[in-house]
A and B are shown apart, each in its own frame.
Chain A
Amino acid sequence: METIPEVVERISQKIEAKGVTVDREKVRSKLTLLVEEFGIQIEEAERTVTNELLREHNLFTPPSSGQEERAISDVTPGDWVTVEGKIVSLAEPPSSAIAQSGIIADSSGAVQFVVWAKAKAPTLKERTWYRLEAAVVDEYRGAPNLKVHSGTKVTELPEDRPLMPSVVPIASLKPGVGSIRAKFIEEWEPRHDRMLQTGLLGDESGRIKFVLWKDGEREKLEPNGVYTFYYATVDEFNGRLSLNLGTAMYIPEDGDIRVSTGGETIQGAFVHMGPGSGLIKRCPVEGCNRVLSRQNYCPVHEIQSSFRYDLRIKGVIDNGKKARNVLMQCETVTQLAGMTLEQAIEIAENNPLGLDDVLIQLQHHVMGKYLRCAGSDIDGTFLVKECGRVQCDASLHASLINRAAASQGDDAA
């Protein structure tokens, strides 16, 4: 094992090689403290003291792997990188351990970044170009995230370079940061006090849920308006993407977009009718619309004296390979079971079994039946827009007979 004086000498020479005079007594006392008082391995203590002195004299140079200069679109978790980019957005740091967070972009793309409070880095200004040397890329919520730590060298670049964000179709968004041109197609009721607005955006390629938080002075989107959104954060949750506009810039655009219906058709047997099906009562409070319990209790507005009736079916359509939750609104229920809302109310109010009788009649019409439904999948539930019974197909019958007969010879062989 090396002795303390040897290590003191080596550290001092290393620092002096950079043209600074070193107080050997100070080096010795630091090293002795670490090794003798704290029982730290001498090699580890040597590294710590060296780095501390380098920083003290502003001589710190990052490990060489961090010198590799990269286009921002190429950074991948696990890399040490050097990038040059423009701070296009700054957000409220979510924790006191974080000095700043936001988005940095170059002409190739954009990435979220975090400046640790411990990094003692200069405060980054929005709309300014910087060179970040030896930043670490890790993964946060499925997206690459650039970390500015104490070893990262931050240099402000004097010039403003042209920067044109590349706008992509919704279908090709990935977790991270993205820019899209889209239409505001559906507004949903905010489910949280901090939410300013939420709903669906769509373009020719698909649709995506978005959230606009109340932080900062944000303007609401106009329903059916077309916008270009620059540098929105793309989050992934349960395998679904959503767009956080907190970091985004959005500019209203002229023209219209033919939004993809995102539609698909599913077929299978209706095998289960779930709770919440049949005639239901909804909360009459403006904008609430929640389902009331049988005792007219709304989870938010408590006991209600009046209510609005609605008819729906929540169930499962199963094709033998996959069971899918489906939701049928009043119109579809009428189309399928031949029961209108008025008829359902009539049954419920004049029948001793009341609401249960509505349910029994609906079950009789749909349970076990083969259905074909057109609609779209929202968060794991298939919203049915149109629905009909499947008819027996004579040509399918014939082809199956042939298929069964044709290969018998093969199997026997």
Chain B
Amino acid sequence: MNTIFYKLGGAITILFLVVLLPLGFVMLEIFNNYNHTHLKEETEEMASQYAIMLSAADRLDVDLLVDSMSTETVREIIVFDQTETIIESSGMESFSPRKKSSGTEEIGSYIDPKTNQHYFYAGKPVLDNAIASIYVFSPSNMMSSSAVRVQNALWLSGLGSLLLALGFTFIFSKKLTNPLQMMEKTAKKLARGDLNTKVPVTTRDELGSLARSMNELARELKRYRDNRREFFSNVSHEFRTPLSYIQGYSHALKNGLQQNEDQRQQFIHIIHDEANRMNRLIEDLFELSRMEEERFPLELELVHLGHIAQKAVEKVRPSAGDKEITLVTEIEEDIPDIVGDSFRLEQIFMNLLQNAVRYTEHGCVRVKVLAEDGKVIGTVSDTGLGIASEEIPHIFERFYRIEKSRARDFGGTGLGLAIVKQLTELQYGTIDVESCDGKGTTFTLCFPEAREGDE
């Protein structure tokens, strides 16, 4: 019973009763008052008519009149003489007129002590020497058959209105509370971990908006849960490989399994490299998590993207030289400044350039910086392995590697592009990638020009 349907339905029903019951009571009061007034008028009229009749009648007619009155109607009649003695009565002997002066009209109410019945009475003088007055008594609860029908019709229409109100209350309460009940069930399912559940959106009001928000929340929760699972799985996988290297080679060194000094040095190098790799991985993960939580401090200032790109190219040039790769720069001199953190922008270019050099065996790596339509655009393109079209949507995900089998040969933590994307977006920029499998890849960075007042 403690559901919103019963509460809402009950409240509306009570509201209907609050309106209908006083209305019904007042209508019945009006009807009763009308009936009583009508009864009084009728009694008076009857008394007047009988008084006129008796003034022209003899004693025998009086007996007949009183007899017929007592047998055919519920009304009573009393006829008094000049000394206020009852001449004829249909059974109301205990009554005596209030006014001593006979020959005047009298109306009032009277309770018969024998039956405790309430009566309206009307007394009228009779212009006859023998008869002084006639009194007609009508029971106060007396109603004509029409009046009884009207009263019954009122009761019936009240009942009909109540039933009609209950029927519509039931429908409206159900219609209003059904979405809430569905949402409550969905919320319970979500709390139990069933994140695939959805609330049907049927309206465009606040309830519809709430349902949409709940569905959005469920989607976000599911995405978060999937990401977290994937993240833990990737982290454990990424750490397992270098750890097993370190464990294996340190065990070999501990037990003196190396054949000579060169091999010992080689084992130490491997352990050192893997330890470095793990360190880089931890640093990258830490940075990435801070970026995703939007707690990453940036020193934003006006910077020249061309200068930053040039600095990054110079840093990468030695490693490009080792692989006989040509580094080409096409940087426009008069490009406008952008708002960004110079160190982090350099990190973006460094990551892209290192990737380009890593995945390019021969050919060239080209860096362009130009201004276009109020934007500063930087591109890093290579003539390397390229990326398959089905891989492109995933390359900015954490730990996503294009060639999983050869990933370790190329080094890197698998977090570089995820960091690049986060850093770019934190500095109001966008990053796009175009690639042709086997022919090369182009990354395009786009930053808005600095406006006046940005410094």
A and B associate: no
Instruction: List the interface of chain A (C-beta within 8 A of B).
Output: none
Instruction: List the interface of chain B (C-beta within 8 A of A).
Output: none
